[in-house]
Amino acid sequence: MASRFSPHYSGSYKFAVVEVDPRHRAVRRRMIIVPLESEPCAWPPLLRAASVNLVLAGGIGRSA
């Protein structure tokens, strides 16, 4: 799964969500999340619903 990071969190048009098993160092599942709206800050509810607890991005603003 080749990935490129967006230079800014709210400018991302999709997120790859990866659930890992740290004990076995294995990927449990992968999914792509794409918001229905292309508005800034549409991500928090979607990522929360996917139980995301860590985001990797090139940058992030104060409001995020």
Q: What pLDDT does residue 45 have?
A: 83
pTM score, whole prediction: 0.66
Q: What pLDDT does residue 60 have?
A: 77
Q: What pLDDT does residue 55 have?
A: 83
| Greatest C-alpha distance within the chain | 37
Measured over the CA atoms of residue 60, residue 53, residue 29 and residue 50, the dihedral's sign is negative
- 29 bridge partner residues: 19
Q: What pLDDT does residue 7 have?
A: 76
**How distant, in Å, are the alpha carbons of 5, 13, 28, 29 from that of 59?**
9, 14, 27, 25
Return per-residue pLDDT of the chain as tens, 64 residues.
Answer: 556 777 777 777 788 899 999 999 999 999 998 877 666 667 888 888 888 888 887 777 776 6
